[in-house]
Structure 1
């Protein structure tokens, strides 16, 4: 079974499985197709994280395919260039893309089929074109002004100055040529030679500090890392470690896991209120501590310590919202955008949880015209505040939002899952997990359930359509500033592995264009 955010990607994954590929092969092929047909969300100019549970091993393998800042990227260098803040369309927020390095490393280590074969469906979609789907068209329209800001992007990603509509067959011949080069020569074709030179030229023309040497280092940038996990409701929930924000999923689950299940169910004000409060505390910690552990200390053990989470739980009151919170990392006052997710399970039980992203819609909006690569803006997660753990620095990875998830029980994978949506992802994952495992909704219902999100910082609680008006009113009276939003929060996929019944149960979020299919 495969579940992705576009039908053609789900179909691609199933074709790979039917052709003898394993779950990881299918995930890479599907991700490559999504990098073509869902261009606002993902691309080869972005980053990748993956959790892979090989059947019969009892293990979960994690890979960090997030890119690093250029070697010349220092606060001093940026200030001398007149940069006093990071802007999401600036070349200074483009880190070296890590996705191709990650695909290559995963394929060489665990794949069965050659990478070149897995890229063929994506090449066809790029060269022959693929019709724009409904959610893609909506996001494209909303990002049109960003694309107009880059002449190359405007030439190739707008039609008569506007975003293409539903059904428009969008072709990307330059991207097709780049994918063919990668298929023939591997990741080296992306990180060295004319393709890398084209990306560097596009960035440097806008004042970027990138060099071809930075891209050369990106060839081996992806790395296997030790996953982090937490026990929850008789299972173990696995996440990639920092610089990804998976640890905040474990924090929210740990806070809420010590509370009784609300009697009113998943749509009750009590449930949403508790989840909002837990998320507010956890995102406070995220903004203070999450960074690249290769360069600064990230206190994962401290932030996921059950005793610390119990103290945070004690701050949550059912009768009112917290008017203020303790400093980050504390439990008292004594001391003072867009992404694609997919999952695949093969016939042997190998389970893959895979996420690939440009971050915000169309990333930086900077198109390397010769290679057809749209460059992400993941470096927008950095800060210029010197002394902050997440301050930009040479060869440093920024705070990252994309997080694949995996649920294990007794050494066996029971659910690869994920919820895309930028900063929303820890909130989205924990809403989904509780919907299914705590409140008993089936996989599809758990994805469908209306969502809300307390925007990090002092932002309001952003509420989707579908949350009952009485619940919204109650949240307001509890002290939560509420804002109704038109665009839904994120989009998710999941596959439940029911070994006792011998079946797979998949779900795909209606907030996106995709589907779950199996055979």
Structure 2
């Protein structure tokens, strides 16, 4: 099968073609280091892997609504010298003693652990952010900085306080009630209330937790007073987590999965492995969608996607249907590999999986929406349905060409909302992603990791980095990855690729006790789309919904650093930061 042709002259050092999309911000360039994240203060830190961790820690102070040391973390790292991509998994497992039988006896019915129930906290109670921070510095960092030095800026911010940004304040206020009704929630409030924009917020207890990690490494979090506070809180609310669960946590380094799109660009996502590493199944969703899009084109059902008018009805219809098919597959097939086989080769390999992708593409109808997709559907977790920003994304590059795409998350806004006494951070609730049903591949089991949603991404041309990026926001992430990548391949600058309006595939209804049920697809559109475009897609059978103002958070917030190389081999970073967040891209001078 011939490879799909892409005009790469539009990719290297693109011209300023403003009519492609009128970007709201100027493109930022740098020949030194760069940081792109959702908070201006956190973006001031420099470097690559070291800076990614420093930025992640700073975001815990400047944007605690989205995650921090109380959550899970994943990263991809591009080593410019070795020309390789490495993946780190910093997520947690269910406590060893947690079973479906216990949850039923405890009084939890239905198919999901409630978001505020502390049985939803996976080991090591906060996922694996603390261990992931330490291991990223030690294994992927410059080796010129200690963990204490990397965490020093965040500790200073926590102790001195930071002025709260507008969007962070908005979500803080929306979820103020959660903190007020949660154990020790006042540790993340200002005089008992959510802080308003420009008000100074201090986190002395969080600074104390950071210092424990700075001085003792992982033991400062998974042993000693922090660990004891975590276990005391969880057990006081009916949880079965024990200190041994915390002490057993380890970060996992594995090879990333990949898919080559258009014959030359290879997209990398975080992987599964044989040791039971959690598989962030939305990662494979992005790769499946790209494979299905290629097959739709090869079957001659539609013009090449990059030849269509950007965000036209035919473009969006093709994209929506490919995403729906990809989500159906990933939700049905993917589980923790330790507890079930994940057919990665069959799904993605262009040799063994080509027939499968072609069969899925055969379901595509160019004139109308498929009324229902079986084997699961794109699902919005409760935190997304309620509206929130549960993930924090950042991407960092240095002057030598190394890059790090790093994402951390509490799952829901402030996670459970429960704060271990004197620690200053909320416990995540990733265990709410388990499906409480005997025989289901994602059923709760002790030591098992649940379905996951946070996925950093990278793209290479050959063995050279093309871009490091991420679009956070639960199940929006693979959808954002695909849309932003296609924007870049169309010739948009990094900033314009993020500024362009996005769609979000969701569902209108789902039977949570039958993940193979058929449901109709609901598609949300940012209000920047022309009404005529939305009306056309409605006529094609899509259930359309227009979203505006702060609710645009459901479309995620992305960060991009793109490597642009001239004829002499010299490079500059082109950097973009999503206008849906408070942050920006910051070049190093």
Indicate whether the TM-score tops 0.5: yes
- Aligned mate of 2:139, from 69, 87, 109: 109
Give the secondary structure class of the aligned counterpart of 1:414.
Answer: strand
Matched, 1:56 2:69: no
CA-CA distance at 1:326 after TM superposition: 4.3
Aligned partner of 2:505 in structure 1 is 454
Given the alignment, which residue of 470, 474, 477 partners 2:539? 477
Deviation string, structure 1 residues 188-247 (Cα, Å, up to 9, x no partner): 1100011001011111111111111111112xx211012100111211111111411211
Question: TM-score, normalization: structure 1?
Answer: 0.93
1:364 CA displacement? 1.2
Partner residue, 2:421? 369
Q: Deviations over 1:385-418 (max 9, x none)?
A: 1211111111111111000001111211111110
Residue 110 of structure 1 and its aligned partner are, at CA, apart by 2.4
Query: 1:463 and 1:226 mapped to 2: Cα distance?
Result: 35
Contact 2:119 2:240 in 1 (8 A): yes
Distance 1:162 1:277 in 2: 44
Work out whether 1:265 is the aligned partner of 2:309. Answer: yes
Equivalent-residue separation in structure 2 for 1:44 and 1:241 (angstroms): 22
Q: 1:510 to 1:187 in 2, by over 3 A?
A: same
* 1:342-357 correspondence runs (5 A): 342-357=394-409
* Structure-1 residue corresponding to 2:380: none
1:214 matches 2:214: no
Consecutive unaligned residues of structure 1, counting only runs of 5 or more, are 18-22, 330-336
Given the alignment of the two structures, is residue 515 of structure 1 paired with residue 563 of structure 2, yes or no?
Answer: no
Match of residue 230, structure 2, among 172, 177, 199:
199
Tell me the CA shift for residue 310 of structure 1: 2.0
Matched, 1:435 2:435: no
Q: 2 CA distance for matches of 1:151 and 1:377?
A: 15
Contact 2:477 2:556 in 1 (8 A): yes
Alignment of 1:133-282 (within 5 A): 133-153=165-185, 155-159=186-190, 161-218=192-249, 221-233=250-262, 234-242=264-272, 243-245=279-281, 246-258=283-295, 259=297, 260-261=304-305, 263-282=307-326
Gaps of at least 5 residues in structure 2 are 1-33, 273-278, 298-303, 378-383, 385-389, 511-518
C-alpha contact (below 8 Å) 1:339/1:355 kept by paired residues: yes
Distance across 2 between alignment mates of 1:25 and 1:6:
17
Matched, 1:6 2:50: no
State whether residues 56 and 412 of structure 1, in contact with CA within 8 Å, keep that contact through their aligned partners in structure 2. Answer: no
Q: TM-score, normalising length from structure 2?
A: 0.82
SS of the aligned residue for 1:175 comes to: helix
Residue aligned with 2:89, SS = strand
Partner residue of 2:556 out of 490, 502, 508 = 490
Deviation at 1:344, TM superposition (A): 1.0
Query: How much has 1:477 moved relative to structure 2?
Result: 0.5
How far apart are 1:168 and its partner, in Å?
Answer: 1.3
Report if aligned partners of 2:328, 2:374 keep a CA contact under 8 Å in 1: no
How far is 1:270 from its partner? Answer: 1.2
Structure 1, residues 297-349: CA drift from partner, whole Å, max 9, x if none?
Answer: 112222222322222222112210001234469xxxxxxx4101111111111
SS at the partner of 2:406? strand
Aligned partner of residue 395 in structure 1, secondary structure: coil
Cα contact 1:262–1:270 (8 A) shared by 2? no
Q: Is the 8 A contact 1:289 1:390 kept in 2?
A: no
The 1-side partners of 2:204 and 2:463 are apart by 45
Using the alignment, how far apart are the partners of 2:171 and 2:483 within structure 1?
24
In the aligned structure 2, how far is the partner of 1:56 from the partner of 1:423? Answer: 34
Equivalent of residue 126 in structure 1, options 144, 153, 158: 158
Structure 1 Cα separation of the partners of residues 54 and 396 of structure 2: 11
> In structure 2, what is the Cα distance between the partners aligned to 1:326 and 1:48?
31
| Alpha-carbon distance between aligned partners in 2 of 1:361 and 1:328, rounded to the nearest angstrom | 25
CA–CA separation in structure 2 for the residues paired with 1:173 and 1:160: 14
Q: Identify the match of residue 386 of structure 1 among 396, 418, 438.
A: 438
Contact 1:403 1:425 in 2 (8 A): yes
Q: Is the Cα contact below 8 Å between 1:88 and 1:380 reproduced in 2?
A: yes
Structure 2 CA distance for aligned equivalents of residues 288 and 266 of structure 1? 31
Task: Note if contact 2:188-2:425 (Cα within 8 Å) is conserved in structure 1.
Answer: no
Aligned residue among 447, 458, 468 for 1:406: 458
In 2, distance between residues paired with 1:46 and 1:203?
Answer: 15
Residues 50-78 of structure 1: CA deviation (Å, up to 9, x unaligned): 11111121211111111111111111111
The corresponding residue for 2:300 is none
Partner of 2:373: 325
- Which is worse superposed, 452-461 or 487-496? 452-461
